[in-house]
Structure 1
């Protein structure tokens, strides 16, 4: 029996297409389908044989190319690299690791150097003239004839230029330490103490002692700051007959940041009034625009920002800073009837709480917290 001829590669000619007017379209098309006998449609095959050959050849070429690519890929995948290639790859990996470690080392060195520089700048701006080195060295601090090391602490609001009298040293304290007996004493200097300046200042040749610091000069350079600190240290020392070895200039931001650095402090409020203290001059903190209603209630649960009962209170940096500035300036107020004297006492309470927290948590050895 004579075998039937099959259509080429499974291509079957379609019937001629008719247009909407009933005419036979001259466009010849083919579709992929099952193998069929060509005897049923000899006339269609004879018309389309020439059109299917180029398409079949291109298709076969694409399939051949794909098969070759897959075979090469399989060979590459299954081929094991030679010892030379393995050594080369290992050397390449080691080189990458060394480069990565070198980059990390450089970054660490930069970060450590930046922290040390910032620590030095911060401490130098507070103590002046590099005296901070004495505090970290193994040698004893400088002492007076009585074996005591005395530090003058000057507090201003120069971090708030909009505040009137930003250069006035409204807070002045002397810290005296005996390194042999391991004891320390602190006393505050009244800001309203009337003294003779020995030079012309805003109020003349005499006035309140808190004016002297800003009267020395009004420069913004580090040299001008050092001159103010050194002359004020000598001026205060001469008034009280003390040999003061060190001086520190701090502002309100220092208190706030220091308290935040140790995670807050616990201050024991001690007022003569059994109710505690109230200073409504700070109630504007309850109406800050950036707060929503809930935050306002949390900040001022009693309706006043600075209203505290006697006893222990946990304070963050912001609260501790404003507590150390409260002096009952606006009525109605209570517990602050001695105004600036009560403020000085509260400042000492904050500093003692800060000292206790810092020494108990190891903050003084944490460079990240000290320089933050």
Structure 2
């Protein structure tokens, strides 16, 4: 069962955090999972869901994994996808709190609650609502990611390719080489493909769809993640799950340790009541990216030596991101993620 769902149920008139201000902000994290090799606690999904019940509005803001931030557990900078992992290394439960602090600092929003779901939990959730329905304008293909070679390790990438990754110094001289290996347990069939047209994805296929990024980009992946979350909601409404808290509770119970939240049971029930009272809410979406109109940029490689590919905020401060987050509900219409699921 979800962690921290304990205690006596307060009265039905009690409000959740953010309800009085009519903006409830929930951090959603998706990752491979604890005790699973291959970066199990590195976040693949970092998303803020904001709900304004009185105005009948919902917003989603996705943050890319390569965003370079101050990491509380390290006392130095790292990619944001590593904040949870380093926090958990210090103390169980610290990872979520650290991520909430960092995302709050980036967006300027108070993050009231946090939820973590691993790959298995996501797959089980999709199956619990009967799959997700998608219509693709063109075929979708990810031929590289699930066959991708990485530096060999003793747990996951163990089959040598005979190729090497080279490290060079500032003069371009090779100073080290690392053998590359593939994963003998091929995920998503190795080459993941979806045809054009209408289709229903089961949990396994939906997971592959929201993980794929190498052939497209991490930004496109974030849009697909937002789309699939919307479709899970639509399917849950269609089968009556989102109108029956007992059904929701049964799904939560079935997820076991594959999902965690810092919400208490009464807060989850109150959120259910608030959302049920909303009528086809207006949806606003944003993916932080480094496009021409984006709010991030990729700095020169020598600025943070050894950091790899990273993203920084335009102006080297969070002002524009915070302005966007504060005013996201002023945007109208569907985002590209909702309009073009491909």
- Cross-structure match for 1:190: 64
Name the one with the larger strand percent.
2
| 1:266 counterpart = 2:133 | yes
- Aligned equivalents of 2:143, 2:6: Cα separation in 1: 39
- Cross-structure match for 2:101: 234
- Cross-structure match for 2:85: 214
CA contact (8 A) 2:141 2:192 kept: yes
SS at match of 1:200: coil
CA deviations 1:14-37 (Å, max 9, x no partner) are xxxxxxxxxxxxxxxxxxxxxxxx
CA contact (8 A) 1:261 1:363 kept: no
- Aligned equivalents of 1:148, 1:257: Cα separation in 2: 29
Question: By how many angstroms is 1:145 displaced?
Answer: 8.0
- Cross-structure match for 2:279: none
- Distance 1:345-1:311 versus aligned 2 partners, 3 A rule: farther
Name the one with the larger helix percent.
1
- Cross-structure match for 2:206: 320
Question: By how many angstroms is 1:156 displaced?
Answer: 1.3
- Cross-structure match for 2:28: 153
- Aligned equivalents of 2:236, 2:106: Cα separation in 1: 32
- Cross-structure match for 2:237: 359
SS at match of 1:225: coil
- Aligned equivalents of 1:168, 1:236: Cα separation in 2: 15
- Cross-structure match for 1:178: 52
Question: By how many angstroms is 1:305 displaced?
Answer: 5.2
- Distance 1:161-1:310 versus aligned 2 partners, 3 A rule: same
CA contact (8 A) 2:96 2:114 kept: yes
CA contact (8 A) 1:261 1:370 kept: no
| 1:225 counterpart = 2:92 | yes
Question: By how many angstroms is 1:268 displaced?
Answer: 3.4
- Aligned equivalents of 2:210, 2:54: Cα separation in 1: 31
- Aligned equivalents of 2:191, 2:69: Cα separation in 1: 36
Q: 1:253 aligns with which of 113, 120, 126?
A: 120
| 1:169 counterpart = 2:169 | no
Question: By how many angstroms is 1:140 displaced?
Answer: 3.6
- Distance 1:315-1:159 versus aligned 2 partners, 3 A rule: farther
Q: Which has the larger radius of gyration?
A: 1
CA contact (8 A) 2:73 2:98 kept: no
- Distance 1:233-1:198 versus aligned 2 partners, 3 A rule: closer
CA deviations 1:227-254 (Å, max 9, x no partner) are 2212321221022211110100111111
- Aligned equivalents of 1:280, 1:137: Cα separation in 2: 51
For normalisation by structure 2, the TM-score amounts to 0.54
- Aligned equivalents of 1:325, 1:160: Cα separation in 2: 19
Question: By how many angstroms is 1:277 displaced?
Answer: 3.2
Alignment of structure 1 residues 33-44 onto 2, 5 Å: none
Question: By how many angstroms is 1:211 displaced?
Answer: 0.9
Question: By how many angstroms is 1:342 displaced?
Answer: 1.4
| 1:278 counterpart = 2:142 | yes
**How many pairs does the alignment contain?**
211
What stretches of structure 2 of length at least 5 have no aligned partner?
149-187, 255-342
For normalisation by structure 1, the TM-score amounts to 0.50
Question: By how many angstroms is 1:258 displaced?
Answer: 0.5
What stretches of structure 1 of length at least 5 have no aligned partner?
1-121, 285-299, 329-335
